[in-house]
Structure 1
Amino acid sequence: MTTDALVLQGLIKDFDGSRAVDSLSLTVPSGSLFGLVGPNGAGKTTTLSMATGLLRPDQGTATVLGHDVWADPAGAKALMGVLPDGMRLFDRLSGAELLRYVGLLRRLPADVVAQRSADLLGVLGLDADKLVVDYSAGMTKKIGLACALIHGPRLLVLDEPFEAVDPVSGEGIRSILRGYVQGGGTVILSSHVMELVESLCDRLAVIAQGRVLAEGRVEDVRAGESLQQRFLDLVGGPVSGSEDLAWLRSWSD
């Protein structure tokens, strides 16, 4: 029997009396490429932070391949590669030095770290000798992904992995993720880009106000519509039209 890659049960998180995640439960099957979508402030980042042990929930549990994230953090985190949104890196190291540091921290043999670092830097098109502080925003996102991958995790949790990444690099990352899943890995990623999720993921969850509004296979959630339209149907579209900004068109009079 295959163990689900990630199981979230009844997660609750409050900040200053405001509920960010409200009794959220979600199951990510092993071998899936799972998208997490929602409007700004929906609770996506908070949910992923609790799922990966970066933020303790007020209530609920998170389990990674049978390991409770809070009862057995070492066992759970050994199986995960995580790319948080806005992650701070040791940016005074070069790309190669940063990967060496992360790989050794993961207790990989030095020769394995060297080979995997060279592979990742090459595939992602990163300068091994350049300081991370001198990387562009897109390159920084890619070195963060390399850090998440170097120990060969069974589950990748990626918060906005394509943000600030150019189209060529983005296609390379898509290829890496598809190959990773085909090899037996599992990916859960958050994104604001519906077209990306629709083309890349096989399953997804739509969340808003800290709750799951829809979850399942992409085609089932879409229900015959585009994912963009289905998303708007679920979370609610704009309440006002462009007529409220008529002054922006005054130059045409």
Structure 2
Amino acid sequence: MKSIREISKITIIINKAYSGKLIDFLHELGIERILVESGRSSILGQGRGIFGITQAGKLVYDPAEIISVLVIQDLESALMSLVAKEFELSTPGRGAIFSTPLIAVKAHEDYMVYEKLKEMPDKAQHFFDELVGLDCIVQRGEGDTAARIALNAGASVPYTNYGTGTGVRDKLGLLRITIPAEKEIISLIMSKYDVDQVLEMYISEAKLDEPGRGIAYIYPLGKGLMNTRISSSKASQAASMEQIISAIDSIKGGIEWRKAGM
């Protein structure tokens, strides 16, 4: 890559059971070099406590993989449409897909930017362009707090993967507090209209304003589809709440109507 240009990073988050099929599908399109990260998704479960009393708020985990590729901007919609249609990502619970606008200055050859596909979609998929990303980085073992905040707020399904920081020892008076290097990264793809509210909840409930507890930040996205199946409870009606929300999204042509307080 010799010149500066605008490109797109396409990220697909999918259950690990389907990741092999997704990788094969990308290979068939001519995309050979793919970044794969392992993680998990979290949703609210319905458990049974003593005497069969229902307990709400328990988290249910599913292994997930985060798959990323780089393409020129002209191929962004085409690739996203092909993947979304093949894996039914517009259906709540199937996963998420989104694009991130990037400026390519220089890259290693392993991070190849693809300029053509072996197949093009017959019809472009509708994607939402009112999305942002919200990441929260906390110490290992504390990620469930942030995940539960996102789910209780009805934002979307959070995805967790792992990383290693430098580890810090800070001095507060006469106390020495060691901050472990192992981290959990909780990623959330959500409506830009409610992100400030969720960020404030992260800060207050996860105590991110205290030294060493973690950080949270917002970053721009291009467009995409988010996973809105936040609960494992079975619907007692003909359609689940997630399906109703998805239908209203289609009717409204966007997600602005979801804004809290409207």
- Taking structure 1 as the reference length, the TM-score comes to 0.23
- The structure carrying a bigger strand percent of its residues is 2
Structure having the higher helix fraction is 1
